[in-house]
Structure 1
């Protein structure tokens, strides 16, 4: 089973959490070898990898996210899973920081952002998007 979009229950759970505090979203991504665009989409004829299509999504979505105060604070290429299912191998991981949950919901409701998501969907085999509440570590 792949996970590319939230279910109605997952969105409801998201909305039931606090709205007016910063959130960080952990993104785990597994790319397709080649993107899966609809045949009539202009990008269907491009010689892109799944990673290329995802980076196009980031560029298009960035036009919306910058206005909302989104900041990608960490990006990595996972090397191996030390603890977890052996079949969950990710190509990219990153953490996006939002000023608050309202900013995230505004983003996903924006028509320009929604138009950009075709590239995300075409690029991915599987993904995880995990809402996190930042906490400060106590230092001795």
Structure 2
């Protein structure tokens, strides 16, 4: 059975801190969406009638973007995914998102802001599976 991923673990958070990233970080998000959003964990955010995972994720972006921008971050790209050109042929991602944050500390501040977290239920309702990869520019490659 294939494992799905929704949230970071304590271990993955500690590992990110241990990388001692000194500047900007770009978060590569790969997102697989539900056909119908599942608000069972956050009924207070549930719309009156069912919506798609894509619509629920748009609600999440609309809620979250001002907090991201206030924390020094920016949404670089939100694009439609698909099947890999190089990679497992049976795997696809509906959305690809690149989010740049000025620092890991600012990323964690943004991700733990209580007002921002009030809308996380839209993301939870939307996502069937996800991956999040922190990327740092490699000075040797530039």
Taking structure 1 as the reference length, what is the TM-score of the superposition?
0.89
RMSD: 1.7
Q: Which residue of 1 aligns with 2:61?
A: 58
Shift of 1:42: 4.1
Give the structure with the larger strand fraction. Answer: 2
Point out where structure 1 has 5 or more consecutive residues left out of the alignment: none
The residue aligned with 2:82 is 79
Mapped to 2, the partners of 1:115 and 1:127 lie a distance apart of 20
Corresponding residue for residue 7 of structure 2: 5
Is contact 2:24-2:104 (8 Å) kept? Answer: yes
| Deviation, structure 1 residue 131 | 0.2
**1:45 offset after TM fit, Å?**
2.8
- Aligned-partner Cα distance in 2 for 1:130–1:63: 22
Q: CA deviation at 1:44?
A: 4.6
Q: Is contact 1:61-1:112 (8 Å) kept?
A: no
- In structure 2, the partner of 1:23 is 25
Aligned pairs, how many?
138
Q: What is the TM-score when the length of structure 2 is the normalising length?
A: 0.88
SS class of match (1:78): strand
Match of 1:89 among 82, 88, 92: 92
> 1:21 & 1:40 partners in 2: Cα distance?
38
Misfit runs of 4+, over 4 Å: none
